[in-house]
Structure formats: structure tokens, C-alpha cells
Amino acid sequence: MATIQFIDALSHKDGVEEATRLFSDTFHEDCDGVWAAPGRVNLIGEHTDYNAGLCLPIALPHRTFVALKPRSDTHVRVVSSISPAAVAVADLAGLQAEGVKGWAAYPVGVAWALRQAGFEQVSGFDAAFVSCVPLGSGLSSSAAMTCSTALALDDVYGLGYGSSDAGRVTLIDAAMKSENDMAGASTGGLDQNASLRCTPGHALLLDCRPELTALENVSQQLFDLDKYNLELLVVDTQAPHQLNDGQYAQRRATCEAAARTLGVANLRVVSDRIAKSDDPFQSLKETLDRLPDETMKKRVRHVVTEIQRVRSFVHAFAQGDIAEAGRLFNASHDSLAADYQVTVPELDIAVDVARGNGAYGARMTGGGFGGSIIALVDKGRSQEVAGLIAREFTKQDFHAPRALAAYAAASGSREA
């Protein structure tokens, strides 16, 4: 069987030590502290967040650690263990949207977004990043970076939002604004909410209706894989993954145009109407009949059915109906492939191999166009299923995939 690398999560001790060391080696002084925030996998509910829908992420045990110290001026210097010799610099004074290029846009953008939100006390900083969240894998390495930075800045500048779940929504807004407006990568809030609001052993049922307050829009759903003797395998296909290449924005624009055509604020309204109707199948058909073109019909069908699948998955998993939970994983992927058209051959093939080898269900996770799949398998089978996917990838001449073992871990926190 082909071998496949499993990516381990950095331990608390190693993350703190490595980030602290990178900071002092680079800036020749001690940091003020170390903070960390995780990547995520979304169990189900894909491309629903920006449609005011439902999604269901868990935080990964894989985290980004940042050692940080505030500065008395407006300068920012950031370094990452990926390229320890390359320190990126920026100045917050007079900074405009998209004014920083490269990866530094993500952390610098958080400070910029907090200042834009009126937190004028937020100023410059030096920061060193160490991460085990695989980059460009659809596992939210960017949210892990922006959210760890937001927690650090909240702490060192005494904003006081990091210590409560409701307060963290302010930090989530800054992290999102950084990604959207400074890094130019569209994101709808799923990743940042997961990184800052998940709790161990639970999936976060996130309701993205804008009218809900922070206290109303999440509920913690038990997600205990051990109880059902299961594992959640993640396979990073290593197919190139880019969310800022226009495809994501295009999907989003089509959904917004569809909502306008249907005379509603967002597609969630339509989805709820359909779900509550006497004959949801007929009601969906009538809705789609009102849309002008095939592409728009497909996109709407995905969003409407995916929101319903989140509800069904939560119910099935809570009942211990793993066959049904797996079926919903499969239906979600198939809808993303056929209707939302965000999969690539690597994702489809990885999912097929998992399904053909005993997985209860398998689906892509995240934005798509590359990235990772998740598969629900019996305990002890992850290695074997991952190896079979790797073998098929060799045959297909794809990049070698990587894997990791996922479970519902904790959200971001101060580490030292």
C-alpha cells in the first residue's frame, strides 16, 4: 500500500517554545506572550455562510501559534517559521485596504481592521508565527493566522473581547475584514467563527442569519467520534487551492443575484420557506422555475438543499444514525460537484476511493477548487483508507496527498 504522511498537531509546549524562539532570534528581545488559534474542518454546510445559512465546523487540534509584542510606534514586523530569514514590514499609519501584499496582509490587516472599527489604541507590533495547519489545504490556515493575531492584539492592547464568546464576535469581524479587504480573499465567516468559538468535543452549529445576535447564532452540538467507534479522516489532496482567484466571488455574486430575482434578502429566506412548505420538493421546483438560467438554478439548488442537510446531519448524528450521517456527507459532496461546481478531480477521486473502501460517507470540506476531503470511517481504518487514496493518486499522476486525524478540538486561546 502507498504510504501517506500524517501531519501531527504541534503540542502546546512545542508551539510555545518554537514561536518564542523564533521571536527572540528574529527581533532580539522577548515577546509579551504566545497565543494560538486552530484551523477547522467543516462537517457539512458548504457555501452556505454567505447565504445566511447554517454550517457545522469543528476546530482542528492543529493550531497556529503567534509570539507577539506591541510596539510604541505604528510599525509592524512579522516573520514565519516557513521563511525565518524574511521579515515582512508594514506601517499602520495611513494604510489603505489591500495596501499590504503577500502573507503579511493577514496579520497586518487584523490590526488595520481593529483600528478601522474604532480601536485607535491598537498600534504596531512584532510577531513570529509557527503553524502546523497545512497551508492552502482548505483547512483555514488563514483564519488560524488572523484569529491568533486578533486574540493577541486584543490582549496586549487591553480590548477585553477575547475572554467571552460574545466578545469574540468583534475579533471575528476584524479577522474577516482583514481577509476580505486587506488580503483580498473572500470569506463568509465560517472559518473565523470556528477558530474562535468551537469547544472541545463539539461541533459548532453556526446560523449565519445577520439578524441574530452573537448569543443566538451558535449552538454547541456534541461530536463524540469515540462514542460511535469512528474516526474522521482528513486528506489534503494538495491540488492547488486558491480562493482569491475569482471563482469564489463569482459563486457568491450568483447567489446574491438569485436572491434579488426572488425578491428576498438572502437565500436562507428561500430555504426556510421551502423547508416549511407542505411539499418541499414542489416548492423547490417552483422557486427554481423563477430563475433565468441553468447555472443560477444549480447554485440555488445546492444552497437550499445544503442548509437542510445541515439540520438533517445534526439530527442523524445525535441519534447515532451514522449511515444517514454518511449519506448526507455524500449528498453534500455530490451537490458541490454537480450543482455548485467547486470540486476538482482530486477531490472527487479521493471521495470515491473512501466511499468504495468502507467510509460511511466522504465529502470535500471548505471552499473547494482543491483542498481537502473528510471521510467518516470506523475506528482504526484511517491509515488504510488514506493509503488507498494515496495509491490511486499515484496512478492518476496527482501530487502526493497528506492526511491528518481530526477531532473536535478547542478554539483559540492565550498559551503563554
Binding interface with ligand GLA (CB under 6 A): 42, 46-47, 49-50, 187-191, 243, 366-367
The least distance separating ligand GLA from the CB of residue 202, rounded to whole angstroms, comes to 19
Residue nearest to ligand GLA (CB): 367
Q: What is the DSSP string of 354-388?
A: HHHTT-SEEEEESS-SS-EEEEEEETT-HHHHHHH
Which cell numbers in the block locate residue 114? 481593529
| Shortest reach from residue 342's CB to ligand GLA, in Å | 8
- How far is it, in rounded angstroms, from Cα 318 to Cα 251? 32
Residue placing its CB nearer to ligand GLA in the complex, 243 or 274: 243
Shortest gap between Cβ of 50 and ligand GLA (angstroms)? 6
Cell of residue 361, nine digits: 460517507
CB closer to ligand GLA, 47 vs 268:
47
Of 46 and 181, the one with the shorter C-beta distance to ligand GLA is: 46
How far is it, in rounded angstroms, from Cα 138 to Cα 107? 19
> What's the closest the beta carbon of residue 248 comes to ligand GLA, in angstroms?
7
Question: How far is CA 358 from each of CA 109, 375, 376, 384, rounded to the nearest angstrom?
Answer: 44, 10, 9, 10
226 is catalytic: no
3-class DSSP assignment, residue 124 = coil
Closest CA to 145 of 177, 180, 103: 103
Q: Are 252 and 299 in contact (CB under 8 A)?
A: no
Nearer to ligand GLA, 67 or 307 (CB): 307
Length of the chain, in residues: 416
Q: Quick one: 106 or 119, whose CB is closer to ligand GLA? A: 106
Q: How far is the CB of 234 from ligand GLA (least distance, A)?
A: 14
Residue entry with cell 459548532 = 204
Residues in CB range of 316: below 8 A, 6 or more apart: 322, 324, 325, 328
3-class SS at 335?
A: helix
In the complex, minimum distance from the CB of residue 251 to ligand GLA, in angstroms, rounded to a whole number: 9
Q: Convert 273-322 into a string of H (helix), E (strand) and C (coil).
A: HHHHCCCHHHHHHHHHHCCCCHHHHHHHHHHHHHHHHHHHHHHHHHHCCH
414 neighbors 34 (Cβ within 8 angstroms): yes
Minimal distance in Å, beta carbon 350 to ligand GLA? 18
The three grid cell numbers given for residue 384, joined into one nine-digit string: 488504510
Nearer to ligand GLA among residue 2 and residue 135 (C-beta) = 135
Q: Which of 154, 181, 191, 339 is catalytic?
A: 191
Cβ proximity to ligand GLA: between 31 and 54 the closer is: 54
Q: Which residues are catalytic?
A: 191
